């Protein structure tokens, strides 16, 4: 009979218990023993929930104390030299040091996990000698079995994907690195087999992207060795996020199961199944239920898909599962009773997806009629949402259709705008600024809560915000920054803040997902047509400008980032959602300009993460993403300087698209990646204003002036000093006041030293 499974489950807990434990440990409120105990409680509680749900194959080992890629690196003793690791199991101080940095050593690079908003820690292979420090999947398997009686499915990140996600080695050395890693993987698998494990899930999402690293010869060598090492262990070779690139080679591998994504790679995977069939000696893990989306599954469509699959795979060789780990969605819809009823009934988070998977597994075994009542209810909920007036605003649709036919070009090109802007603003060489936010202290958060609960009046809260702006405008002037910001003290999250002020959005109480480390975000839900309803940022920005003679930047989040960091409707194309957001944000840009704000930053950190994984689809996405940005900013006058900001993605392959956005200045992360982006500017010019982030704000350390001076010096060998800005790599919201001021003082001193150096060479 058909079985059910998922590929992973959220770590954070319904009330973010995981986050609270991590941060208590980091702050010294929990010692190591208490922290380990709390993490075990959280880990077992989630397993109990999965056990009670009736899921047949429960994943174990997908839980992490920070990040699953970092876990794999630590398991193999792959620790950068600067952390003074001397072998053996990686101690938490080193593990978290790699992730967050220490006073002595910079953190490892953090970047996006494929095209999601989850960030992983990039393994650094250079100078390391892999060895098995601990068998993490085995430990997880035994804990679940011995404590709860669960015959779990250990989850392991596969070697090809691990290498693809790593840095510090040459592609020509891929096979040499496989020779180092494969014996360690084989030992992990042998020990699992000896312990009685029946299935192991080996995640290889890299197989959905064309790459030499995943050649059929390498695949055969890797999985042939695994089969020899543990011949009685069933391996589920799991792919997700898209269709596989080399289906014919993958189905020939000596594994017992192959997992395919039929949510995001449905058409291509189904086409491959029809064309080439499916091996009679393998199990298909069919990712029917979307593990990344929050909408109720169309059970009717799911049943139809299962009927298509049944032509090639009988139910006794089928596992109905999520398309990817449920890490990317909130835990449960339960408790979201403040949402509009029509919307709430159309939602499905992790726990609700467990129910959908079980229903579809039942349909695969007994036929669609076995779940007819549930299917009718799911279709009615989705149809009611699509018919709702919020999704059918003719005024918005007409206005967006009108602007979407234009390219969104500014009146003059950058080469003509830039001298006009410099004449107006009279900024020094290598101007300094920040990305936008300043520390949100406990007092700031408490004040916001008191206002939201009605304990403070709006007048009292507004007065508090003005006090914060006064304080930080003064500090920025005293530190010596050239372009100031108001600090964003009134904002919770850079997307949520704008969503709360635009039509078409809804917000959950507990819809948290992990973004990186203990950082959890609560993405808004774009469920209707987006519309501007009034100025959103003008009051605070104009107030800050009234307190200083130096220019103050207006701060907005861009249309593509708002879209990519939200859960979005699926009844219209994402391109149309981006244009709706662009039209709404354009009206805010114009309102800022009318209020006298002549520098406006429209942040687009999430443009890169929305890039389709399939190369053939990327050009189309970039074209409309760039256009959405330009539609937002194109109506300002020539002397208004448009800034944007990007961070924590691989940007080197889309510098042409970044240039096409035509922002006067882009600030872009480079410190966390240890200046690697600079290398691309050494071979590829960038003709617009640019600021490469000179220090990592996610690390709890104050960078030395010399570190930043070195970064600036290297950048100025490749970039025009007349167009170069100096700034941190991201907003300072999560940092403490003392470290923020100290770091910015060092940054300004580094800028002054760089100015002297440039002047000396002229």
Strand ranges, E, within 169-322: 199-203, 234-238, 257-261, 283-289, 318-322
- The backbone region for 522, taken as left when phi is positive above 0, alpha when psi lies in -120 to 50, beta otherwise, is beta
3-state helix, strand, coil in the chain (%, to 5): 50, 15, 40
Q: Which residue has the tokens 């596992």?
A: 319
Please tell me the distance from the alpha carbon of residue 279 to that of residue 632, in angstroms, as a whole number.
Answer: 51
Asked whether residue 645 is marked as a ligand-binding residue, the answer is: yes
Q: Residues in the chain, how many?
A: 762
Q: Report the C-alpha gap between 80 and 97 in whole angstroms.
A: 10
The DSSP bridge pattern shows strands 502-506 and 525-532 to be antiparallel
Q: State the catalytic residue, choosing from 68, 264, 328, 698.
A: 698
Q: What's CA 405's distance to the chain center, in Å?
A: 31
Q: Which residues pair with 260 in a beta bridge?
A: 286
Query: Position of tokens 């009844």?
Result: 571
Please tell me whether residue 33 adopts helix, strand or coil conformation. helix
Q: Hey, how many other C-beta atoms are within 10 angstroms of the C-beta on 619?
A: 10
CA dihedral angle for residue 734, residue 736, residue 742, residue 747, rounded to 10 degrees: 10
Please indicate if the annotation marks 112 as binding a ligand: yes
Residue 567, H or E segment: strand 567-568
Q: Give 459-518 as a DSSP string.
A: HHHHHHHHHHHHHHHHHHHHHT-SSB--B-TT-SSTTHHHHTTEEEEE--SS--EEEETT
Rounded CA-CA distance 136/461 in Å is 49
d(CA 250, CA 267): 18
| Annotated binding residue 488 | yes
Phi/psi at 737 (5° precision) = -65, -45
676 labelled binding-site residue: no
* 153 labelled binding-site residue: no
Q: Is 68 a residue of the active site?
A: no
Contact 693, 717 (CB under 8 A): no
Q: Which two tokens stand for residue 77?
A: 């003793």
Residue 16 labelled as part of a binding site: yes
The enclosing H or E element of 157 equals strand 153-157
Q: What CA–CA distance (Å, rounded) separates 321 from 53?
A: 13
520 is in an annotated binding site: yes
**Residue labelled with tokens 């107030």:** 543
- In angstroms, the Cα distances linking 50 to 14, 54, 157, 202, 470 are 14, 7, 21, 20, 51
Binding site annotation covers 49? no
Query: Any binding-site annotation on 519?
Result: yes
Place of tokens 């312990």: 195
Q: Which of 607, 567, 5, 15 is nearest to 292 (CA)?
A: 567
The Cα 652–Cα 307 span in angstroms is 43
509 in a labelled binding site: no
Angstrom distance (rounded) from CA 270 to CA 432: 53
Neighbours of 534 (CB within 10 A): 10
Instruction: Flag whether 603 is marked binding.
Output: yes
How far apart, in Å, do the first and last CA atoms of the chain sit?
78
240 within 8 A of 287, measured Cβ to Cβ: yes
3-state secondary structure of 583: helix
- Distance, in Å, from the CA atom of 282 to the CA atom of 601, rounded to the nearest integer, reads 53
CA–CA gap between residue 488 and residue 504 (Å, rounded) = 23
Q: Is 609 annotated as a binding residue?
A: yes
Question: Annotation-wise, does 425 bind a ligand?
Answer: no
CB atoms within 10 A of CB 403: 15
The answer to whether 8 and 328 are in contact (CB under 8 A) is no
Contact between 34 and 538 (Cβ < 8 Å): no
Alpha carbons 294 and 305: distance in angstroms, whole number? 20
Partners of 465 in beta bridges: none
Rounded distance between C-alpha atoms, residue 209 and residue 346, angstroms? 32
User: Which residues carry a binding-site annotation for L-homocysteine?
Assistant: 435-437, 488, 603
Catalytic residue positions?
Answer: 698
User: Which residues carry a binding-site annotation for L-methionine?
Assistant: 435-437, 488, 603
User: Which residues carry a binding-site annotation for 5-methyltetrahydropteroyltri-L-glutamate?
Assistant: 16-19, 112, 117, 519-520, 565, 609
User: Which residues carry a binding-site annotation for Zn(2+)?
Assistant: 645, 647, 669, 730
């Amino acid at each position: 009979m058909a079985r059910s499974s998922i590929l992973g489950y959220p770590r954070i807990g319904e009330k973010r218990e995981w986050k609270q434990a991590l941060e208590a440990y980091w702050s010294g409120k929990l010692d190591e023993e208490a922290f380990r105990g709390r993490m075990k409680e959280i880990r077992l509680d989630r397993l109990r929930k999965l056990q009670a749900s009736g899921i047949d194959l429960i994943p174990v080992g997908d839980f992490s104390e920070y990040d699953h890629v970092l876990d794999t690196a630590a398991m193999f003793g792959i620790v950068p030299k600067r952390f003074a690791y001397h072998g053996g199991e990686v101690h938490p101080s080193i593990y978290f040091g790699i992730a967050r940095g220490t006073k002595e050593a910079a953190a490892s690079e953090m970047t996006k996990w494929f095209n999601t908003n989850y960030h992983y820690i990039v393994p650094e292979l250079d100078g390391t000698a892999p060895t098995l420090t601990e068998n993490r999947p085995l430990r997880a398997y035994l804990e679940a079995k011995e404590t709860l009686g669960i015959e779990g499915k250990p989850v392991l990140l596969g070697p090809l994907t691990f290498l693809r996600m790593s840095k510090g080695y040459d592609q020509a050395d891929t096979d040499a690195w496989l020779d180092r890693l494969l014996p360690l993987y084989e030992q992990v698998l042998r020990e699992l087999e000896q312990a009685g494990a029946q299935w192991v899930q080996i995640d290889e999402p890299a197989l959905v992207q064309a790459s030499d690293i995943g050649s059929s010869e390498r695949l055969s060598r890797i999985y042939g060795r695994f089969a020899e090492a543990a011949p009685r262990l069933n391996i589920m070779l799991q792919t997700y996020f898209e269709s596989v690139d080399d289906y014919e080679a993958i189905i020939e591998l000596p594994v017992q199961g192959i997992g395919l994504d039929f949510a995001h790679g449905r058409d291509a995977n189904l086409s491959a199944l029809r064309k080439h069939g499916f091996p009679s000696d393998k199990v298909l893990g069919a990712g029917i239920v979307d593990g990344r989306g929050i909408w109720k599954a169309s059970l009717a469509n799911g049943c139809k898909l299962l009927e298509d699959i049944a032509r090639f795979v009988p139910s006794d060789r089928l596992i109905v599962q999520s398309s990817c780990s449920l890490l990317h969605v909130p835990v449960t819809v339960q408790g979201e009773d403040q949402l509009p009823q029509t919307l709430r009934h159309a939602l499905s988070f992790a726990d609700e997806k467990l129910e959908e998977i079980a229903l579809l597994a039942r349909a695969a075994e007994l036929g669609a009629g076995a779940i007819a009542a549930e299917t009718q209810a799911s279709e009615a909920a989705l149809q009611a949402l699509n018919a709702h007036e919020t999704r059918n605003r003719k005024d918005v649709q007409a206005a967006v259709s009108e602007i979407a036919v234009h390219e969104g070009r500014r009146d003059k090109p950058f080469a003509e705008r830039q001298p006009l802007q410099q004449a107006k603003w009279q900024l020094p060489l290598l101007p300094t600024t920040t990305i936008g936010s300043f520390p949100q202290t406990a007092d700031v958060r408490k004040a916001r809560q008191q206002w939201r609960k009605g304990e403070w009046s709006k007048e009292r809260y507004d007065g508090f915000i003005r006090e914060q702006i006064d304080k930080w405008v003064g500090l920025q002037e005293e530190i010596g920054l050239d372009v100031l910001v108001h600090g964003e003290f009134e904002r919770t999250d850079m997307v949520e803040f704008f969503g709360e002020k635009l039509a078409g959005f809804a917000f959950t109480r507990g819809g948290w997902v992990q973004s990186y480390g203990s950082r959890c975000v609560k993405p808004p839900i774009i469920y209707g047509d987006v519309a501007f309803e009034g100025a959103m940022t003008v009051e605070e920005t104009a107030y800050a400008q009234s307190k200083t003679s130096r220019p103050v930047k207006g701060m907005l989040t861009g249309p593509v980032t708002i879209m990519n960091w939200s859960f979005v409707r699926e009844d219209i194309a994402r391109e149309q959602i981006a244009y709706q957001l662009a039209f709404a944000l354009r009206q805010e840009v114009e309102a800022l300009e009318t209020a006298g704000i002549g520098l406006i930053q429209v942040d687009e950190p999430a443009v890169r993460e929305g890039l389709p994984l399939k190369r053939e689809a990327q050009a189309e996405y970039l074209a409309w993403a760039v256009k959405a940005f330009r539609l937002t900013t194109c109506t300002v006058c020539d002397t208004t300087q448009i800034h944007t900001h990007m961070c924590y993605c691989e940007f080197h392959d889309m510098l042409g698209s970044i240039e096409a956005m035509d922002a006067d200045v882009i600030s872009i992360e480079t410190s966390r990646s240890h200046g690697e982006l600079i290398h691309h500017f050494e071979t590829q010019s960038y003709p617009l204003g640019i600021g490469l982030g000179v220090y990592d704000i996610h690390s709890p350390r104050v960078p030395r002036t010399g570190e930043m001076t070195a970064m600036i010096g290297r950048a100025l060998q490749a970039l025009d000093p007349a167009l170069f800005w100096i700034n941190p790599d991201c907003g300072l919201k999560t940092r403490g006041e003392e470290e923020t001021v100290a770091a910015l003082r060092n940054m300004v001193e580094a800028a002054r030293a760089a100015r002297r150096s440039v002047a000396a060479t002229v």
